[in-house]
Amino acid sequence: MPSLTIRLDDELDRTLTELARARQRTKSDLVREMLRRQLAVEAFREARRQLLPLGERAGYLTDEDVFRDIS
């Protein structure tokens, strides 16, 4: 498994250490989970950025427009 070294400020390290202790997990496990979540959020945002103009051209301007057609 590849590794990545990062520098954390003292406050961030303290917060991460406390969270790891509270969840009984390693800091590495928590950081991997957080990175996965953030990457998923970024992928969603990119998909939304690309699809939004297509939806608007098709007349989907609000959530109600979408719900109307899928309900």
Residue-range domain boundaries for the chain: 28-71
pLDDT class of 46 with cuts at 50, 70, 90:
very high
d(CA 16, CA 26): 9
Rounded average pLDDT over 6-33: 98
Query: Quick one: pLDDT band at residue 51, thresholds 50, 70, 90?
Result: very high
Supply angle C-alpha 53, 36, 41, rounded to 5: 20
Whether residue 30 contacts residue 19, with contact meaning beta carbons closer than 8 Å, is answered with yes
Whole-model pTM: value is: 0.77
Q: What is the pLDDT of residue 71?
A: 87
Name the residue type at position 7: R
Please check the confidence at residue 39 and state whether its pLDDT lies above 90: yes
* pLDDT given for residue 10 in this prediction: 98
